[in-house]
Structure 1
Amino acid sequence: MKRLAFLVLWLPALAACGTNAQTGNNPAYDQLLSTLYHKTVHTVRPAALARELSKTPNAVLLLDTRTPAEFKVSHLRGARFVNFDEYEKATFADVPRDRPVVVYCSVGARSERVGERLQSLGFKHVRNLYGGIFQWVNEGRPVYNAQGLTPNVHPYSALWSPWLTRGTKVYE
């Protein structure tokens, strides 16, 4: 309950603090993430994932764990949609347990839950995108929709939207 009260009271103020425009780094965002993450799934920073994908684009399975509306607005190129509202039922039977997987959502909290589920199903190489799609976009990395490259990003909610400092915020 204390964590929720902290977020509600301080979220708008913290979002405005100290973002580095070149790197997308924001100490206040890092602090928020440290309160949200349970540290049960290893994280990968957007820059490291981008390097990995540029070398071998299909070696990592990207799982977008947001809602259908969020995924429709934009997602990482090649990502597979996993509806967060239904992930507990998913068995991922078509995915080899030794394939590297990176899960992501808006900020990384929901995707960490999906990562935990994957680990419980025997997946050996699961990572959570640190800061989620927000951090990815805040660092200037591309996102896509059904038509191709897009500046649009679904900000999840008005409460979370201040953490998305780049891109065009689109609610659908």
Structure 2
Amino acid sequence: METKNSTFTAMKLIKYLQVFSLFSLLCFSNVVVGQDDINRALKTWNKESIPYVYPESLSMSDSILFLDTREKEEFDVSHLKNAIWVGYKNFDEQKILETIPNTSQSIIVYCSIGVRSENIGEKLKKLGYTKIRNLHGGIFEWKNKGGEVFNDKEKATDSVHAFSKHWGKLLHEGIKVY
């Protein structure tokens, strides 16, 4: 009788582990595929090699340079006020060194949520820049928290380039443009 109970208990345990594994896989897939939460996405994709600055703690100051690390078409639809477009695929280190000769300049890099901007922040760090921060949640979180964005004519807009339908799920405010 003890053997039957042991087998039954082992089978229940195996079934429990299978269900738990499936549940864990679905939860992990939600982070990677569903992208319904910026914090989880950043924990998945970033190393936090560039310190974050949070939209709610940020004051717009003339002494801070905002560098937009998205593609040009994204920047043209929406960007932070007075941001400088530096791109991602076309990031030009020499142009940066010429445009921003002061390597102790306060710089905030941003993209859609903060993944591409971390990569560009790392490149800036290698170039010798010392005061770099990454906008946590990028332009999506900025807009989600009520921040103002501007189009290529420097006019305030509700439109935000959402990069893709996949990542656009993280943008809850404004008008999504693809």
Q: Report how many aligned residue pairs link the two structures.
A: 149
| Greater fraction helix | 2
* Pairing 1:68–2:68 present: no
Task: Spell out structure 1 runs of 4+ moving beyond 3 A.
Answer: 5-9, 11-14
TM-score, normalised with respect to structure 1: 0.80
- 3-state DSSP of counterpart to 1:102: strand
> What fraction of aligned residue pairs are identical, expressed as a percent?
36
For residues 90 and 7 of structure 1, the distance between their equivalents in structure 2, rounded to whole angstroms, comes to: 39
Which shifted more, 34-43 or 103-112? 34-43
Tell me which of 78, 83, 105 is aligned to 2:82: 78
Q: What is the aligned counterpart of 2:158 among 148, 151, 159?
A: 151
The correspondence for 1:42, drawn from 29, 47, 51, is: 51
What SS does the aligned partner of 1:118 have?
A: helix
Aligned residue among 159, 170, 176 for 1:163: 170
Q: Which runs of 5+ in 1 are unaligned?
A: 16-27
Decide whether the 8 Å contact of 2:35 with 2:166 is kept in 1: no
Which residue identity does 2:177 align to in structure 1?
V
Matches within 5 A, 1:49-128: 49=58, 51=59, 53=60, 57-87=61-91, 89-91=92-94, 92-93=96-97, 94-95=99-100, 96-128=102-134
Return the alpha-carbon distance in structure 2 between the equivalents of residues 146 and 69 of structure 1: 9
Q: TM-score normalised to the size of structure 2? A: 0.78
RMSD value, Cα: 2.0
Residue 142 (structure 1) aligned to one of 145, 148, 159? 148
Cα distance between partner residues in 2 of 1:79 and 1:34: 26
Amino acid of the structure 2 residue aligned with 1:72: D
Q: How many Å separate the matches in 1 of 2:67 and 2:150?
A: 14
Bigger Cα Rg: 2
